[in-house]
Structure 1
């Protein structure tokens, strides 16, 4: 997942807010729908569909690296699961992107203190073997401040320690080391790049994730050390010069076309208007992608299924998107936004579950003033789940971001991510880390939110920023 938008949530809220005419009618949710939402909430808390879907994806498909054979199996799984859960419409939309493959990786201290190091290649790293002296930097700024040419023939090691936080706000700096560090190192002459994993655990499992190399630079092998191994390397460097042998066999391998898989529950009276929820179908290849993001798929599929089982369908359609290749550049979210550019105004509210399976603790939308009363009504319906109304916070999820940038109104259901980065992009991201009760609370929250948004009288302010909306 990506958290850049979440880390800058208050700013995003301002940038993505949309002015509406002063004459816009106030959006409200009927009392009948609010009463139905209470029953839906309690039923969802007792339902295990979210767990069963998450278990199915992580068990039957497992790791789902974008462009891999498992990617295709995940698409087939999602289509079948939507149909099994009784969605009215199920379809796919193509998503094309560069294919990166990982074959092998290793690292070891050589010389007097010879010993292996636990690493994982960063997504996007090229193949190559480097044996060189290591130079440590406390953070990205220190690397960027190094004299030009000072790392010639050496391996740069950025040892930034990411703090834990409920809202994950430390990930901004941690992920910046991964995304910008290799290019900064190359500019200083480095022949390889190592970083302390962007994570908050103390287990000997490194965290992968995508990196980018600036245009005009020749990429070098780049990898993340597990946090204990980063500590070990730092201790060795405090004793004197250290050389490391870094070997990576990975790289880009042409183009691949995957699919956004979409299921829809048809609205009873305004079926062309949409409440969009979802998560991303792909994962990294080290674990089984349970918290990132099989949980999001399970939560949103289950929420829509429960809404479909109500005695009366909501007025608007509930659409669930299983986005392709979020991990390597939001490719699925960007493709969805492009494919539905003419339909932005029809997307009443859009929300993505992509921050694990911790309990949701806060809610908000980017709706304009005329729909703030409806937002508050939804918040009150969520309050019994331990969710507070946070009217000055939030932003769109990663794959929702491109659609929100085109004018669609976002909704934000904030999950507790205190321990999310213990697992993020590691081999430890497996099903056993998910609390079924917390997952059910997420399903209940998404079901109540999506149902009430679909029943609201009036709109939530979505309006295309450019071009004409579909008639």
Structure 2
């Protein structure tokens, strides 16, 4: 039965494509409706995606055969070669890579202990980019703050000579908005702490879990401000310290990190294309990032995204007639250490960004997509929404006109490029994010397939659209 169904489905796609007529070759015209054949093909692509195991096979391959792939390491280059081999084997029209200079950071060891008044070991991890502690470690009292803002309001006398402890809990939300509220403590906490004379900073992990695992992630230093060691502790250990503070406000910590910044290395953005049939110089970009942190296997962050956009583009590649515009899959380098691949892509492709019709990135795990947001010319927003009405059959609602597009394409809107955000359910994403627990078993194959279906539907419709999406809406 399955073979007969697939044969019938293929026949329908061929028949539908034969009926497609593209009478308007002007990319700047404001046609308000997608043709029925285009919508039918998009729905058939989605149907095929729901039956396909390709995305799961890809993320399984990446996590098993490569695993953790921190930017600038040998595993990072192994991931680049893995991607080149896979994309070529899948038969894309073009596969190539573009060099990116990435920072190299070595994690080393991370150890912490409460030494008084109640001796207890802690589970910690170095934050990405952190320097090491001095030889022999740091032994100092801790000073607790509810948030980064509370630290900023503290006096130098409260902080000088101490280890700052930012205890800001990340709350669970479908959209992941709790992360946006707390992540500043991770990224900028060391700067504020050092300005007030702290010797180190250890934050409550930016995560929604209660596992005794610490969440890593990138932190920053500021020129002219002393660099201090930075780490994150597990949420249960943060709770433990709070329980100690109820008994005694004088708590001392011993902290040892051997992390090290080691300069720069060459990595690559890996790119594959489905060449457009009538507007090949115009691009619909769907991306994900290839690198990961070094403690898990990078399954949800962002092996899932790599698999989703690759599998979606493969479905379009295999159509008997290609869509009008080129579909470009970009697997970005070094997202985790500062959106380096995304920034490099924007710079290297500056001369052709005016030909980027729209861009979107999958980088929020493998939860089902529930909403499609856009950032297009407000005058045509409702027309563009109309192109995507059939995505409701996949459980996706039409959203707002305030999309960011995803981390690696977030710099494109200010350069005039329209973007879309295909919102995934991230209710449990920050349970595993940036931890050793980011592994393949967290991915539900059916949810992954729904993502592929939505991306294939979106990319095909956008590649066929005749609506002028520019100038885009200003950020509100």
Q: Provide the TM-score with structure 1 as the length reference.
A: 0.91
Name the CA shift for 1:274/1:301 in 2 (closer, same or farther; >3 Å).
same
**Is contact 1:374–1:456 with CA below 8 Å preserved after alignment?**
no
* Offset at residue 426 of structure 1 (A): 0.6
* Offset at residue 371 of structure 1 (A): 3.7
Q: What CA distance in whole angstroms lies between the structure 1 residues aligned with 2:345 and 2:307?
A: 20
Q: What CA distance in whole angstroms lies between the structure 1 residues aligned with 2:235 and 2:153?
A: 24
**Is contact 1:96–1:258 with CA below 8 Å preserved after alignment?**
yes
1:78 paired to 2:83: yes
Partner residue in 2 for 1:114: 119
Name the CA shift for 1:462/1:87 in 2 (closer, same or farther; >3 Å).
farther
**Is contact 2:117–2:252 with CA below 8 Å preserved after alignment?**
no
Name the CA shift for 1:27/1:399 in 2 (closer, same or farther; >3 Å).
farther
* Offset at residue 165 of structure 1 (A): 0.6
**Is contact 2:384–2:467 with CA below 8 Å preserved after alignment?**
no
**Is contact 2:276–2:327 with CA below 8 Å preserved after alignment?**
yes
Between 429-438 and 363-372, the greater mean CA deviation after superposition: 363-372
Partner residue in 1 for 2:297: 288
Partner residue in 1 for 2:168: 160
1:234 paired to 2:242: yes
How does 1:309-348 map onto structure 2 within 5 Å? 309-348=318-357
C-alpha distance after superposition, 1:306-336 (max 9, x if no partner): 1111221111111000000011111000000
Q: What CA distance in whole angstroms lies between the structure 2 residues aligned with 1:333 and 1:305?
A: 22
**Is contact 2:128–2:219 with CA below 8 Å preserved after alignment?**
yes
1:299 aligned residue (308, 322, 328): 308
Partner residue in 2 for 1:425: 434
Partner residue in 1 for 2:9: none
Q: What CA distance in whole angstroms lies between the structure 2 residues aligned with 1:458 and 1:85?
A: 31
* Offset at residue 400 of structure 1 (A): 0.6
Q: Provide the TM-score with structure 2 as the length reference.
A: 0.90
C-alpha distance after superposition, 1:321-358 (max 9, x if no partner): 00000111110000000111111121111000011110
Q: What CA distance in whole angstroms lies between the structure 1 residues aligned with 2:362 and 2:298?
A: 14
**Is contact 2:388–2:461 with CA below 8 Å preserved after alignment?**
no
* Offset at residue 460 of structure 1 (A): 2.4
1:143 paired to 2:151: yes
1:40 paired to 2:45: yes
* Offset at residue 372 of structure 1 (A): 2.8
**Is contact 2:103–2:337 with CA below 8 Å preserved after alignment?**
no
Structure 2 alignment gaps of length 5 or more: 1-27
Q: What CA distance in whole angstroms lies between the structure 1 residues aligned with 2:385 and 2:128?
A: 41
Partner residue in 1 for 2:217: 209
Partner residue in 2 for 1:377: 386
Q: What CA distance in whole angstroms lies between the structure 2 residues aligned with 1:325 and 1:166?
A: 26
* Offset at residue 370 of structure 1 (A): 5.2
Partner residue in 2 for 1:52: 57
* Offset at residue 187 of structure 1 (A): 1.4
Highest CA radius of gyration, 1 or 2? 2
The runs of at least 4 aligned residues of structure 1 exceeding 6 Å deviation read none
Q: What CA distance in whole angstroms lies between the structure 1 residues aligned with 2:188 and 2:467?
A: 44
1:103 paired to 2:111: no
